Structure 1
Amino acid sequence: MNDARVSAEITGIVSGIKVNVGDAVKEGEPIALLDCQEHETNLNRMRAMLDAAQAELVFSKSQFESGAALSSKKSMSQEQVSKRRSEYSVARAEVAGVMADLKNAERAVERCEIRAPFSGVVLERIASTGDYAVAGSHIVRLLDNENIEVSANIQEQDIASLKEANEIIFLSREKRFSVSLRTILPIMESKLRSFEARFLFIDEKAPPGSTGRLEWKHGGPFISSEFLVHRDNSLGIFINSDGTAKFISVPDAKLGQPVQVNLSGTTSLILDGRQTLTEGDPVKAIETDNR
C-alpha cells in the first residue's frame, strides 16, 4: 500500500494547498500550487531565445548555401565556405541547446502545480501557504485507499491449510471481508516460527489501518501431525482396516504440520501404539471418553 509524502519538485513559495485532511483525491488531481512567476518568466525568456536562435540558423544556412554556390563558380575561396559551414553548424547546435532548455522550463512551469501521484486520502497537510519549498520539500501526506493489502503473521503449521483454503475471510469490527492470498514471504520470524502473508481484498475493502483476524476454510479434511509415523523412508498414518493395521503413505506430509488426507469420515485412525506397529498387525478399537 502506498503511503507517500508528496513533495515539491522545484523551488518556489507555496501559494495554496487545495486539499484538507480527510479529502479523497484522484490520481493526477492538483493538491497544491507554487508561485510560478519566476518559472513563467524563465519560460518566456527561453521562447525568445529560441526565436533568436532559429533566426540565426536561417541566416547562417542561407549564407552557407550561397557560399557553396559561389565556390562552385570559383567566386569564393574554400576557406570562406568552410567558415560559413562552421557558423551554420554552431547555429544548429545553439537551436538544439535552447530547445532542451525550453523543455526544462516548460516542465518547471508544469511542476508549479503539484498533483496526486495516486488516488488516496489526505492524512496530513505538512506545508502551509507561504512556506518556501525546495525540491524534495514535503507538502502533504497521501495514503493509497485502493491498493490495500492485509498483512498477517501465519504460524508455520498453518501454512499448508491456508494454501489449500477455498475461502479466506478477514474479520474486522464485526464485518467480514473476502480476501485472497497473494504471497507468503519466504522469511521466517524465528521467535514465533511464523511467516508474513499478504492478502488482497476481493470485493469490499476494509478501511486502511484496520485490525482484525483471519479465518479460512480448506477444501478437504486435515489431521493432526501427531498421527504421522515414519515407515520405509516415508511419512504416513496407520488406519484400522477390519481389525488390522494398514499404513497409508502421505507424500506431502511434514512433521509438525497438519496434513490433508483423502479419507472417508468413518475411517479409524490409529494413535496409541502407532510407533511400534507394522503393516498387518492386529488392532482393536477401544472406546474411551476422551477420544
Structure 2
Amino acid sequence: MAGTVQRHAGTAVMLRLFFVAGWRSHLALFRWLRPSAFIPTVLGVPVVQLLWFVHLGRYLGTYPTEYYVVGNALNACAMAGLFAPAMSIQGERLSSTLNAVLATPANRAMMFGGRIGPAVLTGALTSAVMLALGTALGWLRIPFATLPQLALAVLVTALSCSACGLLLGAIGLRTREATFLANVVLYSMLLLCGVNIPLSRLPDWLAAIGTMMPMSQGIEAARRALSQTGGVPGLLGWELLKAAVLVLMALAMLRVLEQISRARAALDDA
C-alpha cells in the first residue's frame, strides 16, 4: 500500500514538473510581450504567407485553392513549434541560468520535455486560426464530420514540429546556432514537406528528405481528412513516430551535451 502511494506521489511530482516547468519557461520567454506585440508575432507571418501562396496558386492555376490553404495553415504551427522550444533552452545558456537549472535533481526528461507543451498548443491554435481564416474567406469548406480527424491532424503536426524544436534547442545547449538552424528547418519544411508543392513533383532525393521531416504526413492527413478519402490514421501514426524519435534524440543529445559542458566547465559559455 505504501509503495503504491509513493508511486502515485512520484507520478504526480513528475507531471507537475512537466507542465509547470514548461509553462514557466514559456512565460519567461514571452511574458514581456504585450498582446499587441505577441499576436502579430505569432499570427502575422502565417497570415501573410497564407494570403500570398493562395493568391499565387490561384493565379498559376496549378492546384485547387484548398490545397494551398490546408498546406499553409498547417505549416503555420512550425514557427511556434520550432522557435519556442529552441529559444527556451538556448535562452537558459545565454541568460546564465543554465547552471542553476542543471544543478537541480529534477528529472531532465520531464524538465526539458515539458517545454514543448506550450509550443504545441500555440502552434495548434495558430493553424486553427489559419483554417478558420481560409474558411471565412470562402477558400475552404470544412464538413462537420471531418472536424475530429482534422483537429487530430493539427495537434499531431504541432507536436511533431515542437519535437523538432526541442532537438534544435538541444543543439543550442553548446552552440549559438539554434535560432539560425530553426530558420533553415522552417524554410526547408516550407519547400520540402508538401505545403505548396506535392512530394511527387520533387526530385526523388528531395522527396525522401521531405518525407522524413516533420509535418509532411500531418499535412497529407489533413487533406485526406477534408476530402474524406481515408488513410488518415496511418499517416498520423507515422507523424507520431517521427515526433517520438525526435524527442528521444533531443533528450539523448541534451544528456550528452550536458556531460560534455560539465567536463569543459562551459555550461554558461555564451
Smaller-chain TM-score bracket: under 0.3
Structure ID, larger Rg: 1
Higher relative contact order (CA 8 A, sep 6+): 2
TM-score by length of 2: 0.20
More helix by share: 2
More strand by share: 1
